[in-house]
Structure 1
C-alpha cells in the first residue's frame, strides 16, 4: 500500500491513498460512549434551544454553529478530499417547558411544549481519504471539538467569552479510538464571537504537524514492555492519584482513573486487536490503544485531555525504555 504526500491549502502535508476509494466508512462503534447519545446535526440545529447569559439575555454560540464552522474550514483546507458527515454525541440533557405549559402534569405535555438542550456535546469529522497505516491499523484524519456549557459562566455576561475544545488528529478504524497529540489540541479556547472561533480553528488545523504525529505513533510499535513491567506500570498508575501533591509535581501525570485502568488490565488479556502476546509482552502501540479504548468511558468534558495524556504517557515510557529518560512508573 503506497502512501503519497500532497500539499493542501494550509501549506502542511498529509498522507493520502487514492486506491482506497471514497466509500470508506468508519467502524460502527462510537468514538466516545460513556453516557452519551448520538444526535443528528439537523436535530441539534432545529429542535434544541440555545442557552443565554442571565445578566444580558445574550445567546451563547450554538453547538450546531460550532460544528458548521468547523465543517466549512475543513472543506476549505481539504478541498477535494472525502469528508464524512459529523458524528455527534451529546450528554447531560437540560429539559424545560414553554410558559404556556407551566402548570401541566408532565404526562400531559405536548411535544411542542417541551424544550431541550444538551449541556455537553462532542463531534468528530472524519476525512477518510487522508489516511495512514500503523501496525496494520488504518488511521483516518479526524477533526472535531467539544462544547460544554457547564464550563461557561451562564450567570455572567456574554463579553466574558465562551469555552471550546478543538482537536485534529486520527481515528483508528480498528476500534474508532481517537489519537490526539498536544499540537493538534486547543484545550482551553475562549472566544466571544463566531469570527474568533473560525480564526482559532483554522489556525489550529494549519499549524498541526501531521507527519510528526504519525512518526511519534509509529515509533511506539518499536518498543514493548514485559508482563512484569505492565503489572508494575498499572500499579504505579493507580498509586499516582494518591501521592502527596509535592511528589506528584515531579512525575509525568496520569489522568486515567481506576475504572479506565481496570479496563486496560482486562483488555490486556481479552482485546482482539491489542491484547498481549503469548509470552506476555505488549508493544507500546498496543498499550497506547488500550488506553485510548478505555477512554471511551470518560465524560465528554474530560475526554480530549485524557486522549492527549495517553500519547504523552506512552511516549514517556518509550523514552525510559530506550534509556533517554527515567520513569517513576517503571521503577
Structure 2
C-alpha cells in the first residue's frame, strides 16, 4: 500500500520562495536534531564570517560548507519543485580559531572581533520539506535532506583537484522529538568529488532516486511488532556485549555502532520517555524502540551521527525479522 505524502499547506504557513534559484523559507522551530558538542550557526555567518580552508601546496580553496548547503538547496528546490523548503538548520563543532597577521603579538583577551578568524572543522545541516509529510503511530514525519562536511576527512596538504569528502542524506524527521530517520538507500556515506559540478551530480542522483514509500513502509511495519521486557533486557545486554566480542565472532553478527553512553540513554528512556516509553506490561513496540535509538543518537558527534542513524533502523528491522520468525538474530532469541 502506497502512502500519500503530499498535503495542502494552509495559507498562513510560510510558502516557498526562490531567490537566485535557491530555496529560502522560515527556519524550523524544532529543537536541535543533534546536541553533542555542537553549536547552532546561521548560513549568513558561514558565508560572511568564516574563513575557508585551502590546499597547502597551492593555496586554492576547498569547497566551502556554505557552497555545499547552497548547492543542496538548489537541487532540493528542483527535485521537489513547488514544495515548501525551510531555511537550513546548521550545527557545527570543532572550531579552528586564528588571527590576522597584524594581531599576532596581541594577548588573546585584547583581540578585536575583526582581528579574529574562525571556521568549524565539522558541520551538519538539515533542510526540512514540511509540505511532504506522513504520520506513523501518531508521529508526524517530514521529509528532510541534509549533509555533513568535515574538513578533517580531506587531505589539506595537497593541491586543488584532490578528492573532497561529503556525506549526504535524505530521510524523515520525526516532529514529535526531532529524531532523524535515515535508511541505507537514502545515504551517501562517502561522496568524493573534485569540484562543485560533481557534488551537484552526486546529490541530484541521490535525491531523484530516493524511494520515500519504501522507507515509510519499513518504518510503518515496526509499529506492528513488540518485544517483551525480558527480550528488551536481553537485547540491551547483548548490545553491550557486542563491543567486547572477539573479532572473529563479530564477523558473523550484524554490526552495532552504538556505545555504552547511547545504550544507557535507551535504557533510561525505556522507563521515562514521554512518547516512546514501555507499556504497562513492560513490552515496547519496535517503532518506539527505534525512536529510543534515534533519540539516543543525538548525543553522537557529527562524524558518526548519520552512520548510527542508519544502524538504528537496521537493528530494529533485524529484531522485527526475529520476532516474525523469518530470521534469527544474535541480539535476541
Range class of TM-score, shorter chain: over 0.9
DSSP-derived class of the 2:35 partner: coil
Question: Take 2:242 and 2:28, find their aligned partners in 1: how far apart are those partners?
Answer: 35
Is the Cα contact below 8 Å between 2:90 and 2:125 reproduced in 1?
Answer: yes
Name the structure 1 match of 2:152.
Answer: 150
- For 1:302, the equivalent position in structure 2 comes to 304
Report the Cα distance in structure 2 between the residues aligned to 1:314 and 1:274, rounded to whole angstroms: 14
**Residue 292 of structure 1 contacts residue 310 of structure 1 at CA under 8 Å; is this kept in 2?**
yes
Is the partner of 2:219 in helix, strand or coil? helix
Distance 1:118-1:22 versus aligned 2 partners, 3 A rule: farther
Shift of 1:22: 6.5
How far did 1:28 drift? Answer: 3.2
- What residue is the counterpart of 2:174 in the other structure? 172
Match of 1:190 in 2: 192
* Structure 1 residues 81-108: Cα deviation after superposition (integer angstroms, max 9, x where no partner): 1110000000000000001111111111
| Distance of 2:3 and 2:231 partners within structure 1 | 38
Provide the alpha-carbon RMSD of the alignment: 1.4
**1:249 aligns to what?**
251
> Contact (CA 8 Å) 2:9, 2:131: kept in 1 or not?
no
Q: Give the superposition deviation at 1:159.
A: 2.1
2:124 is paired with a residue whose SS is strand
Match of 2:6 in 1: 16
Partner of 1:131: 133
Q: Single out whichever of 102-111 and 123-132 deviates more from structure 2.
A: 102-111
Deviations 1:108-135 (A, max 9, x none): 1111110000000000000001000000
Shift of 1:27: 5.5
**2:115 equivalent among 110, 113, 116:** 113
What is the CA distance between 1:69 and its match in structure 2?
A: 0.2
**Unaligned 5+ runs, structure 2:** 15-26
2: CA distance between counterparts of 1:26 and 1:71? 15
Contact 2:28 2:86 in 1 (8 A): no
Partner of 1:78: 80
Asked if the contact 2:294/2:312 (under 8 Å) is kept, the reply is yes
Please tell me whether the aligned partners of residues 169 and 182 of structure 2 are also in contact (alpha carbons under 8 angstroms).
yes
State the SS of the aligned residue for 1:132. Answer: strand
User: Which consecutive unaligned segments of at least 5 residues does structure 1 have?
Assistant: 6-14
Q: Compute the displacement of 1:154 (Å).
A: 1.1
Q: 1:135 to 1:20 in 2, by over 3 A?
A: farther
Q: CA deviation at 1:158?
A: 2.6
Q: TM-score, normalised by structure 2?
A: 0.94
* d(CA) in 2 for partners of 1:99, 1:124: 35
Q: Give the deviation of 1:156 after TM superposition.
A: 2.0
